[in-house]
Amino acid sequence: MDRLMSSPRLMIVSDLDHTMVDHHDPENLSILRFNALWEAKYRHDSLLVFSTGRSPVLYKQLRKEKPMLTPDITIMSVGTEITYGNDMVPDEGWVEFLNQKWNKKIVSEETSKFSELTLQSETEQRQHKASFHVEKEKAQEVMKTLSERLASRGLDVKIIYSGGMDLDVLPQGAGKGQALAYLHKKLKDAGKLPKNTLACGDSGNDAELFTIPDVHGVMVKNAQEELLKWHAENAKDNPKIIHATERCAAGIIEAIGHFNLGPNISSRDVTDLSDAKLDHFDPAYEIVKFYLFFERWRRAEVENPEVYLSNLKSVCSPSGVFVHPSSVEQSLHDCIDRLKGCCGDKKDKHYRVWVDQVFPSQIDSDTWLVKFKKWELTGEEQQGCLTTVIVSSKGVKHTEGLTWVHVHQTWIDGTTQNTCDDWFF
Ligand code: GLC
Ligand code: MG
């Protein structure tokens, strides 16, 4: 949060399962489209918040399975755990606040009396969240009785039903909506209230996100029955909430456009990227565009490969150097020449490339240093590099794009290190 010096232009608060992440799309296309849009157009001045029902354990597992960006803030366990940054530093103030009027022991005692409730896995039982499975038909009755019994024992709790099967018991002050309200207050106190906030969700535990003042909301096309029912009963006439016509992350992009929150064209939707000219220098956009080209190149999806390659060479400085993550140095021009040999080498291999946390900083009037993580996925195997690129605008026009002067990569810990010869950039 400290990264931004002023109010974020846009704060996206998105649920993960079946909202940001489409579990029915093995190609992950909609999230990859979102990623390209976010990194090229929003990352530098906006905030990305993931708000999931998952515990930290299951959240980290999902990150390994899907091409997810790194959020600025992670809200987990249905708004009961808030963490900041890449190190996921917990918000202790939120923990203290939730401790009020909460007694997990009483919750366990009372819930154990219901044969309809089966406990979820151990990882999903958290300090401020007790989670169960319950059949759809029995959910309403169980929720009513349970809340009466807990109230009679002096507890003020919130019971939420999601996905037609999950039942969560939380402190009354918790939940995704309350966590968002808390963050808004924190940002406001720091003079950084976002200019716009877009909440995105698909199921019951997302409903409260849409009740926070001044928030735009999108229920993705594939939203669950319980969320649509909540909407019909509580927010039908609210023009700030839409039911998207597109699934998952594509619905989020749709909402950005619908509410006019900023650019809504992902570079992934542009077939001929050489046509996409800008009227100013934009290092983040150039990085996103280059790695999209790189993916298409290796998937054999580039028309006019020869033209592309010579254009690419012309934007690389003749004295430019690439330091490969194995620490071998090569000239950028030699690297471009080597690309010829890998055209189409990943065809039909479920190959994808994306960049995460693209942060450009201008180091003098015509030079930028851009840091980011570059990821490649081939089938199930994912690997990544921390990458630093120096680009320059010296002697070039906006329409020609920036000149690449230097590229340096190091393997990201914990990912498979590519020993064979197919990591090129
Ligand atoms: C996630 C959590 C689960 C919770 C559900 C609905 O699936 O893992 O514990 O019940 O979200 O909030
Ligand atoms: Mg969901």
pLDDT tens-digit series, residues 43-96: 999 999 999 999 999 999 999 999 999 999 999 999 999 999 999 999 999 999
Burial of 154 (C-beta count, 10 Å sphere; 0-12/13-18/19+): exposed
Question: How many CA atoms within 13 Å lie on the side-chain side of 345?
Answer: 11
For position 272, what pLDDT does the model report?
77
310-334 tens-digit pLDDT: 888 889 999 999 999 999 999 999 9
Q: Give 130 Cα–ligand 1 centroid separation in angstroms.
A: 10
Q: Report the C-alpha gap between 311 and 319 in whole angstroms.
A: 17
**In this structure, are residues 22 and 249 in contact, taking their beta carbons and an 8 Å threshold?**
yes
List b or e across 251-288, with b for residues whose CB sees 16 or more CB atoms inside 10 angstroms: bbbbbbebbebbebbbbbeeeebbeeeeeebbbbbbbb
Taking all residues of the chain, what is their mean pLDDT, rounded to a whole number? Answer: 94
Q: Quick one: pLDDT band at residue 418, thresholds 50, 70, 90?
A: low
Q: State mean pLDDT over 244-256.
A: 98
* Ligand 1 pocket check for 252: Cβ under 6 Å: no
Confidence at 395, pLDDT banded by 50, 70, 90: confident
Closest protein CA for atom 8 of ligand 1: 54
Cα of 50 from ligand 1 centre, angstroms: 14
User: What pLDDT is attached to residue 260?
Assistant: 98
Q: Which residue's CA is minimally distant from atom 5 of ligand 1?
A: 53
Band of pLDDT at residue 2, cut at 50, 70 and 90: confident
pLDDT given at position 279: 74
Q: What number of other Cβ atoms are within 10 A of residue 105's Cβ?
A: 7
Interior/surface letters 1-40, b for 16+ CB within 10 angstroms, e for the rest: eeebeebbbbbbbbbbbbbbbbeebeebebbbbbbbbbbb
124 lines ligand 1 (CB under 6 A): yes
Count other C-beta atoms under 10 Å from residue 226's C-beta. 20
Is the Cβ–Cβ distance between 55 and 76 less than 8 Å? Answer: yes
Report whether pLDDT(235) > 80. Answer: yes
- Judge if the beta carbon of residue 19 lies within 6 A of ligand 1: no
d(CA 332, ligand 2 centre) in Å: 44
> From atom 10 of ligand 1, which residue's Cα is the shortest distance away?
166
Q: What is the pLDDT of residues 98-140, one digit of tens each?
A: 998 899 999 999 999 999 999 999 999 999 999 999 999 999 9
Residue 276 has pLDDT above 80, yes or no: no
Rounded distance from Cα 150 to ligand 1 centre (Å): 21
Q: Tell me: pLDDT of 397 over 90.
A: no
Instruction: List pLDDT tens digits, range 354-391.
Output: 999 999 999 999 999 999 999 999 988 889 999 999 99
Closest Cα to residue 391, out of 369, 361, 421?
A: 369
pLDDT of residue 209: 98
pLDDT at 305: 82
pLDDT surpassing 80 at residue 398: no
Task: Report the greatest alpha carbon distance in the chain.
Answer: 76
Most confident of 252-261, 297-306, 374-383: 252-261
Rounded to 5°, the CA angle 337-343-347 comes to 160
Percent of the chain with pLDDT over 70: 97
- Separation of CA 53 and ligand 1 centre (Å): 4
Lowest mean pLDDT among 259-268, 272-281, 338-347, 362-371: 272-281
State the pLDDT at residue 271.
82
pLDDT higher than 60, residue 304: yes
Ligand 1 site, residue 51, Cβ cutoff 6 A: no
Confidence of residue 293 (pLDDT cuts 50, 70, 90): very high
pLDDT band per the 50, 70, 90 thresholds, residue 306:
confident
Residue 146, ligand 1, Cβ within 6 A: no
Checking if the pLDDT of 192 tops 90, the result is yes
